Amino acid sequence: MISAVKQPSTTAFVVNDIARTGLFALRRKISLPPLPASTLPSLLCSSSRLSLKPMCVSSARKVVGSRDEELQFRCEAYEADRSEKVSVPAEEPQSSAAQKVKIGIYFATWWALNVVFNIYNKKVLNAFPFPWLTSTLSLACGSLIMLLSWAIRIAESPKTDLDFWKSLFPVAVAHTIGHVAATVSMSKVAVSFTHIIKSGEPAFSVLVSRFLLGETFPVSVYWSLLPIIGGCALAAATELNFNMIGFMGAMISNLAFVFRNIFSKRGMKGKSVSGMNYYACLSIMSLLILTPFAIAVEGPQVWAAGWETAISQIGPQFIWWVAAQSVFYHLYNQVSYMSLDEISPLTFSIGNTMKRISVIVSSIIIFHTPVQPINALGAAIAILGTFLYSQAKQ
């Protein structure tokens, strides 16, 4: 701990007594008589207020012929606590109660935003039945929100490269198809029916993974598909306002979102982008893909005529409906992607199942959708099967 060199002179201690608070500094030199090296350890041990640090001496020499060899020490010291041990509390892990509260907040926000989106989206589609433009406006609003957030530094912009966007492209294609198909479905049938059919997404996931990717699953996973498929079939057969376009739109949306998840898992390995920024980039690329198709399928002239009709029937309130469905679409998806950074896939699957229940129940209440008991039973069976699937897959 202490560097020493031999020199025939008195032992000189240079003590720097510097307070930790930085309010004052005192430098003093103490000249002591020659001190045998053997007594130094005991002296150091007896000091309770000095902490010594080794310092390098720039030069030293030994005088030939000197019998008594003495030592020169240069030390620095600061006033320390009197050899009392200060215990520093370790960072306590987050308690289970706090974690449950955090997950509960995520789920409550996610479900609430999704319910509000579905309500306003259905209102807009009832008055303005143009799902391609409605889907485009939802993506455009989300893209604008994130671009402004990055510009004014509310959110940290992602660090991306060409490989990132290449891997994101197939994900964006699948996301665009799934988004438009779901919107087309809700423009033709009740919100509750669309979400009952969309609860069958696990069945598509297992079938695609098994026959296209060669993945195998436990037997319990296959058994869990029976109530999903049976419940969806029962609900579709007993739906009072059944529409084939609406039914096929929900089915195509299921298939597209399955491929979106597969492409996302494959393409995003090793990419360090947060859930919020990942969905923002996905929205921007999906908007670029969807816009030309929306113009080709529906067109500005049709939109203008439909917009005038909706304003004349609903009034200026219709503009708020369009803005609300666009904003809440982005927010609920953003929260869901952010949730994936904080919770396990199993917890997310359970939350997604409960989300569908909240959307189905709330839409039936708000829009006064007529539901037969056998139809409600089919929905309950399908949702139960989705829950069992999430349990069996883990």
User: Once rounded to an integer, what is the mean pLDDT over residues 289-314?
Assistant: 95
Q: What is the pLDDT of residues 219-260, one digit of tens each?
A: 988 898 899 999 999 998 888 888 999 999 999 999 998 898
| Last residue of one domain, picked from the residues 28, 55, 76 | 76
Residue type, 40: L
Q: Are residues 138 and 36 in the same domain?
A: no
Q: Are residues 132 and 222 in the same domain?
A: yes
Distance CA 337, CA 280 (A): 10
Q: Is 134 within 8 Å of 124 (Cβ atoms)?
A: yes
Token pair of 188 as six digits: 């033709």
Query: Is 248 a domain residue?
Result: yes
Q: Are residues 298 and 385 in the same domain?
A: yes
| Last residue of one domain, picked from the residues 57, 76, 95 | 76
Q: Are residues 160 and 292 in the same domain?
A: yes
Q: Are residues 149 and 267 in the same domain?
A: yes
Q: Are residues 49 and 173 in the same domain?
A: no
Q: What is the pLDDT of residues 177-211, one digit of tens each?
A: 999 999 999 999 999 999 999 888 888 888 888 88
Is the pLDDT reported for residue 11 higher than 90?
no
| Mean pLDDT (the chain, rounded) | 78
Distance CA 378, CA 199 (A): 11
Query: Is 27 a domain residue?
Result: yes
Domains in the chain, number: 2
Q: Are residues 297 and 383 in the same domain?
A: yes
Query: Is 54 a domain residue?
Result: yes
Query: Is 89 a domain residue?
Result: no
Q: Are residues 291 and 213 in the same domain?
A: yes
Query: Is 379 a domain residue?
Result: yes
Query: Is 96 a domain residue?
Result: no
The domain in which residue 200 lies consists of: 105-393
User: Once rounded to an integer, what is the mean pLDDT over residues 313-338?
Assistant: 91
Q: State residue 387's pLDDT score.
A: 85
Task: Give the closest residue to 63 by CA, choosing from 12, 5, 13, 6.
Answer: 6
Distance CA 100, CA 57 (A): 60
Q: Is 271 left (phi over 0), alpha (psi -120 to 50) or beta?
A: beta
Query: Which string of DSSP letters, residue by residue, matches 197-230?
Result: HHTTHHHHHHHHHHHTS-----HHHHHHHHHHHH
Distance CA 179, CA 185 (A): 10
Most confident of 65-69, 81-85, 158-162, 282-286: 282-286
